[in-house]
């Protein structure tokens, strides 16, 4: 805390510094930018933050963020109900949508299993996934998880849990580099990986 920065500005900088990818230095730069762009950026941003905090919720069916529940994807009757694509986070869902790689529905786990970080099955949206698999409408579940150690641990665990339900479980194949995070892949690679998915 610098003695020359007022408390309001310091609080803004401290909060900005909590954003992923923003350290204290870039948080200061962002705060100064906002002050300079008070009317075109800062006030609309404050309004957008408050609105999003009030209205955006996790879809009770799939875990996607939306202001309606069920979300627009779950509510879309033209999408294939029989294929569920399992993703780590909503960012990966957006990447798959951008690539036009999947015309079915999704299930957002909210993270990956990570024994080292103490993240177990109960910390993720897995119970609801098993329930959806048991519901009868779903024929195939595609595990679209990053090719990292945690992603593979999670895929292995899910294939065992879902294997008991009788639903066919597949995973993305070629094009996902080892250690690769899904939402960094370009659309073409992601679309190819989805098309060439294979049984787990
Ligand atoms: Zn949904």
State the DSSP string of 37-89: TIIIIIHHHHHHHHHHHHH-EE-TTT--EESSSS-HHHH-TTSEEEEEEEESS
85 shares a domain with 24? no
114 assigned to some structural domain? yes
Q: Is the dihedral of CA 23, 28, 29, 30 positive or negative?
A: positive
47 shares a domain with 79? no
Write the Ramachandran bin of 110: left for phi over 0, alpha for psi from -120 to 50, otherwise beta.
left
14 assigned to some structural domain? yes
139 shares a domain with 121? yes
Residue 62 contacts by C-beta under 8 Å, 6 or more apart in sequence? 70, 71, 73, 74, 105, 106, 107, 108
Mean pLDDT for 15-44 is 96
Query: For the segment 44-92, what is each residue's pLDDT rounded down to a tens digit?
Result: 999 999 999 999 999 999 999 999 999 999 999 999 999 999 999 999 9
Regarding predicted confidence, which is higher, 80 or 194? 80
Structural domain of 69: 65-199
Q: 84 C-alpha vs ligand 1 centroid, how far in Å?
A: 11
CA–CA gap between residue 131 and residue 69 (Å, rounded): 18
Closest Cα partner for 129 from 93, 105, 96? 105
Lowest mean pLDDT among 26-40, 54-68, 162-176, 182-196: 182-196
Residue 79's domain is classified under what CATH number? 3.40.1360.10
Residue 32's domain is classified under what CATH number? 1.10.8.420
Of 33, 55, 77, the residue at which a domain comes to its end is 55
Q: 23 C-alpha vs ligand 1 centroid, how far in Å?
A: 33
19 shares a domain with 50? yes
Q: 14 C-alpha vs ligand 1 centroid, how far in Å?
A: 33
Q: 88 C-alpha vs ligand 1 centroid, how far in Å?
A: 14
166 shares a domain with 109? yes
18 assigned to some structural domain? yes
2 assigned to some structural domain? no
79 shares a domain with 46? no
State the DSSP string of 94-149: HHHHHTT---EEEEE-SS--BGGGTB-GGGTTTHHHHHHHHTSS--EEEE---SSH
Closest Cα partner for 155 from 92, 102, 113, 93? 113
pLDDT band for 186, please (50, 70, 90 cuts). Answer: confident
Q: 72 C-alpha vs ligand 1 centroid, how far in Å?
A: 7
Query: For the segment 98-146, what is each residue's pLDDT rounded down to a tens digit?
Result: 988 899 999 999 999 998 999 999 999 999 999 999 999 999 999 999 8
Q: Global pTM?
A: 0.82
146 assigned to some structural domain? yes
60 assigned to some structural domain? no
159 assigned to some structural domain? yes
Q: 105 C-alpha vs ligand 1 centroid, how far in Å?
A: 8
Lowest mean pLDDT among 17-26, 128-137, 188-197: 188-197
Q: Which residue has the tokens 């080892």?
A: 178
Q: 76 C-alpha vs ligand 1 centroid, how far in Å?
A: 10
State yes or no: pLDDT of 181 exceeds 90.
no
- State the total domains in the chain: 2
Question: What is the total residue count of the chain?
Answer: 200
51 shares a domain with 69? no
147 assigned to some structural domain? yes
47 shares a domain with 134? no
181 shares a domain with 98? yes
Q: 18 C-alpha vs ligand 1 centroid, how far in Å?
A: 28
Sheet bearing 104-108, strands edge to edge: 104-108, 80-87, 140-143, 168-171, 198-199
Q: 143 C-alpha vs ligand 1 centroid, how far in Å?
A: 17
Query: For the segment 149-180, what is each residue's pLDDT rounded down to a tens digit?
Result: 899 899 999 999 998 898 999 988 756 666 66
């Amino acid at each position: 805390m610098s003695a020359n920065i007022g408390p309001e500005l310091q609080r803004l900088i401290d909060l900005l510094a909590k954003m992923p990818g923003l350290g204290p230095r870039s948080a200061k730069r962002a705060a100064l930018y906002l002050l300079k762009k008070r009317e075109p950026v800062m006030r609309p941003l404050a309004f957008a933050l408050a609105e999003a905090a009030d209205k955006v919720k996790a879809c009770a069916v799939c875990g996607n963020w939306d202001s309606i529940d069920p979300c627009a994807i779950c509510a879309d009757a033209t999408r294939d109900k029989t294929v569920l694509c399992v993703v780590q986070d909503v960012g990966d869902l957006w990447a798959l949508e951008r690539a036009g790689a999947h015309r079915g529905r999704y299930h957002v786990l909210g993270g990956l299993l990570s024994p080292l970080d103490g993240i177990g099955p109960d910390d993720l949206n897995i119970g609801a996934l098993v329930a959806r698999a048991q519901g009868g409408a779903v024929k195939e579940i595609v595990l679209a998880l990053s090719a990292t150690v945690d992603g593979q641990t999670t895929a292995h665990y899910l294939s065992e849990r879902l294997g008991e339900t009788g639903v066919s479980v597949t995973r993305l194949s070629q094009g996902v580099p080892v250690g690769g995070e899904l939402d960094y892949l370009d659309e073409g690679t992601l679309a190819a990986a989805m098309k060439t998915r294979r049984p787990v």
